[in-house]
Amino acid sequence: MERIEHRACFGGWQDVYRHRSHATDGEMRFAIYLPPQAKEQKVPVLYWLSGLTCTEQNFITKAGAQRYAAEQGVALVACDTSPRGEDVADDAAYDLGQGAGFYLNAITSPWSRHYRMYDYVAHELPALIEEHFQVTDKRAISGHSMGGHGALIVALKNSGRYCSVSAFSPIVAPSRVPWGEKAFSTYLGSDRETWRAYDAIELLKTSNEKIPLLIEQGDADEFLHTQLKPELLKAAADAAGHPIELRMRSGYDHSYYFIASFIGEHVAYHAAALRSP
């Protein structure tokens, strides 16, 4: 593991590392913000999953979350959105291939060799963070768009592993919208039964843990009615008796201006959950 960025930020440190990943069979990068409290004690971790076309840089440079993490004494971890490299399968479209891993384990060729982002996010990355940094094993998870989808499925598939989950403008029903159908058919094949394992609405039907879902959505989001459809998640959660709060924000779109406007509330929400016994 090699540190490639190190910057003072709100009394703590914003670092970026690269390392060899067993899950993705290649080099991966992640960012970690360690708040000033980490100098004296171990702190809990909020994991962030970014959306299509992003790297670890989008969140750490645009969201403004470090200030709130410093106030709350929470570490922030943001990883890349896919494996990358000359030997990694790719596609010319922005919504497939490098930058568009969809936080699943691909099973079709040539994607299955490297595109195992679910294993990376759910298992390898937390183990790495907890081994090498001044953090506890108390975890929360959040994300945006494709990363909101990732946060929801990782939390729902791992009962008891996360104290809290939230999402900004998430893809909640990937099996039913163009972004998800394109990615799932490519990475997982044509058998839609296989897709159910990575669809938050399907996972709600069998979830043993009723971890509350906090969803932040702008009503001026250009993808709201075609790709996101948060009302489907609300209906599925209500049918399953699963707690959910869907916040519709007037005038906000899909950008990081939206995330920056409400990330402080989400960091505080997760910090409260992480402090609970």
Question: Which of 114, 144, 242, 254 is an active site residue?
Answer: 254
Which single residue is written with the structure tokens 């403008």?
169
Give the DSSP per-residue string, 225-277.
IIII-HHHHHHHHHHHT--EEEEEETT--SSHHHHHHHHHHHHHHHHHHHH--
Which runs of E-coded beta strand occur in 112-236? Answer: 135-143, 164-168, 213-218
**How far is residue 121 from each of residues 44, 91, 154, 158, measured CA to CA in Å?**
16, 22, 8, 12
Q: Which residue has the tokens 């929360």?
A: 140
Q: What share of the chain is helix, strand, coil (3-state, %, to 5)?
A: 40, 25, 35
Catalytic residue, from 15, 80, 199, 221: name it: 221
Closest CA to 34 of 63, 9, 2, 61: 9
- In the residue annotation, 221 being an active-site residue is answered as yes
- From 82, 142, 145, 169, the catalytic residue: 145
Alpha-carbon dihedral sign for residues 167, 170, 175, 179: negative
Annotate 238-252 with DSSP letters as a single string: HHHT--EEEEEETT-
Token pair of 272 as six digits: 């409260």
Prior bond to 110 cis, omega within 30? yes
Please give the positions annotated as active site.
145, 221, 254
